[in-house]
Chain A
Amino acid sequence: MMVLGLVIQQQDTAAGVGRRLADQFASARFPRSSAHNNLPSLARQGLLRVVEQGSKRSLDRYEATPQGTARFREWLRESSPEPPALRDPLHAKLELCEEEDLLGLIEVIGEEEKACQQVYAAAHGRLIARRHFEGTRTRDTAWAARLQGTLITDEAMMWGMRTKRLQRLREELEDIRDELQRTRGGAGDG
């Protein structure tokens, strides 16, 4: 749907859509092949059409059909009564680990925490940079600018919360490790 949405925003080639996917949805880390695979598939479904044939397939330029635009708007308004499935490998690791894995897990969580903190800092940086351009808004673009600000804030908060959650998990595991060491030390003394 993101590929379809990007082509609705503007006609584009697979290479162009691929670049915009990477820019606008950086955190999603879509594979390079996403645009190349999805554009022809969406065209086969009648949701896109080729408006300009390139020298090779990756240079074909696509636009959305009225059916594609309608399908996209329908998707925007779709809601799900269920929360999304939560498949966090860390949950599985915590559920299935043994005592001997504890030290390794503390390290793994610490590394993930650092990675999330860096993404948080990057989103925070974009937010600060955006504030410098606040004055350049026109009335027509004000709503879009505000939406963009909301989106970056949301992204920063998501990564910030993830960082804090990992910090808390790591600290809890460190407490368990210390408690185990104390118990062992006490048992040894006796």
Chain B
Amino acid sequence: MAELSSLVAVSKSYVRGEGRLRVLVDVSLRVDRGEIVAVVGSRDEGKTTLLKVASGIEEADQGEVWLGDLDLTRCTDRERSRLLGDEVTWTSREGPGVRLEVWDYVGLPLVMGRGRGRREVRGRATQALERVGVSGCARQRWEDLSSWERVLVALARAIVSRPRLMVIDDLLDGLGMRRTQEAGEMLRSLVDELGCGVLMSASDLETALIAERVWSFSRGRLTLMSDQARAEANIIDFPSDARQSRDSHGAGS
């Protein structure tokens, strides 16, 4: 499978008082096309930071962050914000934070600085909502949706720009076994249809079972728990032009 996104030996810390809080410690990870990768860990451990670094929202202190052949650590803010929305979508349960109708919220990744008209944006948002089976919610507001509808609307937002990489932050936690399974089936069909990859975080292990590759995240470090993508493919296919640094750090191993 073709490599889509990778983090190589990434570290990040925040200033806290006189010291520094190390949130990511030498983290290496990859997501291939057609693959769902889950990072499972407790809340407030830094999973969201990991996802934000992978999607270019936050910068790493050290290490490499790749989206395909593009080194995000060398991109300008402008380039990164273009990628976010077109190539990478970020979605969580937080919602818009302001009062927006669902189709406007879903269409947001298409709007920011891209000069698209409202009619086009709403049309594509409606298509995305139809795809996940909640077109009836288009004119409602986020606050009025059930938690399951919010999950589906968030997935619609994740696919509206047909991205290469969907980054999903704690969206599917606590749904219960049946709904988790439904969400997993939906996500799998979207990935197959778009040919994209998914990097998702989860606080519960049940949610993580949706993924083919499961990483445990604790104290800023990743430990591989299960790699069914590798079990299926047997061999992970590095691109022929694989960079030296990736080989030396064993990204995705």
Which residues does A use to contact B, with CB under 8 Å?
117, 120-121, 124-125, 127-128, 131, 149-150, 153, 156-157, 160-161, 163-164, 167-168, 171
Contacts and interface: CB of A to CB of B under 8 A. Distances in A.
A170 B146 CA distance: 40
Contacts of B231: 121, 125
Contact of A125 (B216, B223, B226): B226
B206 A167 contact: no
A97 to B, nearest CB: 23
Interface in B2-40: 40
B219 A171 contact: yes
A62 B40 CA distance: 47
Contacts of A124: 209, 214, 225-226, 228
A164 B205 contact: yes
Interface string B202-226: 0001101100101010110001011
Given A121-B226, A160-B40, 14 more contacts: A117-B226, A120-B225, A120-B226, A124-B209, A124-B225, A125-B228, A127-B209, A128-B228, A131-B188, A156-B205, A156-B209, A157-B209, A164-B216, A164-B218
Contacts of B223: 117, 167
B216 A153 contact: no
A149 B209 CA distance: 12
B188 to A, nearest CB: 8
B225 A121 contact: yes
